[in-house]
Amino acid sequence: GEGALWGARFASGPSPELQELSRSTHFDWRLALYDIAGSHAHAKALAAAGYLEADEEQAMHEGLDVLARGIQDGSLQARPGDEDVHGALEAALIEVVGAELGGRLRAGRSRNDQIATLVRMYLLDHSRVIAKDVLALIDALVAQADAHEGVILPGRTHLQHAQPVLLAHHLQAHAWPLVRDLERLRDWRSRAAVSPYGGGALAGSTLGLDPQLVARELGLDRPAENSLDGTAARDVVAEFAFITAQIGIDLSRFAEEIILWNTREFGFVTLDDGYSTGSSIMPQKKNPDIAELARGKAGRLVGNLTGLLTTLKGLPLAYNRDLQEDKEPVFDSVDTLEVVLPAFTGMVATLRFDAARMAELAPQGFSLATDVAEWLVKHRVPFREAHEISGALVRACEDSGIGLEDASDELLASVSAHLTPEVREVLTIEGSVGSRTGAGGTAPERVAEQRAELVARAQAA
Ligand code: ARG
């Protein structure tokens, strides 16, 4: 069609059906400003190699600036006949600077090395937006941990009461995976900040253009080592999609707990009105939709990763048009996280915890039985026997319909002579939590140290 990037060797123009299938401007237009940045850098490389005179280079940069303004204010848009963002911008450049100068810019580059570079630039920028959003969520968790010193809840395994833990310890257990996600994003950036620009369609260029110059201009660390790999590999996109999926999974695990905690049966938390939703029929309802949407969208993020990996599987070198299918999934993952994270953070920051309710449930389900066994070990009873004694005490209390803390001196003695009344020292949730001073344990001093380390790691990432 008019202004197309190819056509001379074709007797006829593209069929309407082909155009319909081929067009990518409705999703790759979001790369338009990156395309312009690539063109500025490429113009410099062309000038440095003697393919543009100084005045031509100047006019090229000015023309590109006109396009950038049009992209920013929305006056420049792709037209229906444009195949992709690259073609649309070349046609627009020619309208601004003329066919003679505008036609020089494409020398020594291909849409294949362009797109491979632009998608990296886009993802690098959004990796910083997502990292900022994840850090805000970590901050909200840390603030809640700080504000609930001494608050205890029933820790669970298999969703059954296991041992009491500090609420701060539990909240920090949700923050650590997010810290690792920040670190993943940081590590990913070192692999992503590579420029395939200059690789051409697949084999490199004859024009002696400086790929270092282009990489530097684009804020990337270095050019790709191999032009085939640079134009055809998308592991960097897949790895980014994995990190976004993992963040989704980490949110969904916490979301599931918030949904449970918010039920009448648990009654651990109240959601702020601004971060919960109502029902169109049941006037009393206050629903945890943010947590549910986060949980649901984790599936979407995993789907984007799976779809992308499936597209990449078995693709021969070098560029194949299949690779155009890398963008929509990863763009969707970016968009999804960038709306989920701020809402989730607001919900977490405004959660109200019912400390009395959590403390009431914390000793239930014989959650202090391990403390009894470890108290016996401290009194020289082998753990195997201590486990038996504590288990027998649980059974005796269960038979009598009482908790461990309610066992009489007689009941204790009837279970084992080792169970003197002093065992009651460890039969409080505060005593239990306070005595777990081992590394990474739930004792208040360990949890406070851990929080400082968490904050330092998050800041450093
Ligand atoms: N639109 C393509 C993509 O997103 C880039 C263009 C390469 N097209 C081509 N026919 N070689 O991957």
At residue 237 the predicted structure's pLDDT band, cuts being 50, 70 and 90, is very high
Instruction: Tell me how far apart the alpha carbons of residues 417 and 317 are, in angstroms, rounded to a whole number.
Output: 76
Question: For residue 286, what pLDDT is reported?
Answer: 86
Q: What is the pLDDT of residue 238?
A: 98
Q: Which of 29, 123, 321 to mutate to test the pocket of ligand 1 (most atoms within 8 A of CB)?
A: 321
pLDDT for 452: 98
Mutation choice for ligand 1 from 30, 31, 112, CB with most ligand atoms inside 8 A: 112
Q: Which of 29, 110, 111 to mutate to test the pocket of ligand 1 (most atoms within 8 A of CB)?
A: 111
Cα–Cα distance measured from residue 424 to residue 399, given in angstroms and rounded to the nearest whole number: 20
Give me the long-range contacts of 167-174 (CB less than 8 A, separation at least 24): 167/353, 167/355, 167/358, 168/447, 168/451, 169/442, 169/447, 169/450, 171/141, 171/144, 171/145, 172/141, 172/142, 172/145, 172/447, 172/450, 172/451, 172/454, 174/141, 174/250, 174/253, 174/254
d(CA 293, CA 287): 11
- What's the pLDDT tens digit per position in 102-118? 999 999 999 999 999 99
Is the ipTM here above 0.90?
A: yes
Q: How many CB atoms lie within 10 A of CB 335?
A: 12
Across the chain, how many H-helices and E-strands are there?
19, 6
**Considering only CA atoms, which residue is closest to atom 10 of ligand 1?**
321
**pLDDT, tens digit, 9 for 90 and up, residues 263-319:** 999 999 999 999 999 888 888 888 999 999 999 999 999 999 999 999 999 999 999
- At 2 the pLDDT is 53
Which residue segments constitute the domains of the chain, with CATH numbers given?
A: 16-107 (1.10.275.10), 112-199+227-360 (1.20.200.10), 364-460 (1.10.40.30)
Task: Evaluate whether 85 touches 175 at the Cβ level (below 8 Å).
Answer: no
CA-CA distance, 13 to 207, in Å (whole number)? 30
Q: What is the pLDDT of residue 179?
A: 98
Residue 149's φ and ψ, nearest 5 degrees, are -55, 130
Q: Is 42 tagged catalytic?
A: no
Q: What value does the mean pLDDT take over residues 54-83?
A: 97
Which helix or strand (DSSP H or E) is residue 152 part of?
strand 152-157
* Cβ atoms of 99 and 11 closer than 8 Å: no
Mean pLDDT of 373-389: 96
409 — pLDDT class (breaks 50, 70, 90): very high
**Mean of the per-residue pLDDT values of the chain:** 96
From the list 12, 26, 158, 190, the catalytic residue is 158
Across the range 68-93, mean pLDDT stands at 97
The mean pLDDT of 239-250, rounded to a whole number, is 98
Cβ-Cβ contacts under 8 Å for 451 (sequence gap 6 or more): 142, 145, 146, 168, 172
Averaged pLDDT, 329-357: 98
- For the full predicted model, state whether its pTM sits above 0.80: yes
> What is the mean pLDDT of the segment spanning 378-398?
96
Q: Which helix (H) or strand (E) holds 144?
A: helix 111-147
Nearest atom of ligand 1 to the alpha carbon of 319 = 11
Smallest CA-to-CA distance from 318 within 195, 198, 224, 232 is with: 232
Give me the residue label for tokens 């929509």: 328
Report whether pLDDT(31) > 70.
yes
Residue 422 structure tokens: 């002093």
pLDDT attached to residue 193: 98
Of the candidates 122, 133, 155, the one whose C-alpha atom is nearest the C-alpha of residue 340 is: 133
Q: Model confidence over 5-29: pLDDT tens digits? A: 888 889 888 999 999 999 999 999 9
**Token couple for 387:** 């486990």
Q: Which of 84, 81, 75 is nearest to 30 (CA)?
A: 84
CA of 115 from ligand 1 middle (Å) equals 7
What residues contact residue 134 under an 8 Å CB cut-off, 6+ apart?
A: 178, 181, 182, 185, 247, 341
Report the SS3 class of residue 251: helix
Q: Distance (Å, rounded) from C-alpha 382 to C-alpha 420?
A: 16
| Spatial contact of 237 and 119, defined as CB atoms under 8 Å apart | yes
Predicted pLDDT at 3: 65
Share of the chain above pLDDT 90, in %: 94
Side-chain half-sphere CA neighbours of 276 within 13 A: 21
How far is Cα 51 from Cα 14, in angstroms, rounded to an integer?
A: 32
Greatest alpha-carbon pair distance for the chain in Å reads: 102
Mean pLDDT over 133-153 rounds to 98
CA of 429 to the centre of ligand 1 (A): 62
Return the bridge partners of 154, or none. 164
Report which protein residue has its CA nearest ligand 1's atom 12. Answer: 324
83 CA: nearest ligand 1 atom: 1
Instruction: Report how far residue 134's alpha carbon sits from residue 248's, in angstroms, rounded to the nearest whole number.
Output: 11
User: Which pLDDT belongs to residue 106?
Assistant: 95
Q: Which residues contact ligand 1 via a Cβ below 6 A? A: 24, 28, 84, 111-112, 115, 319, 321, 323-324
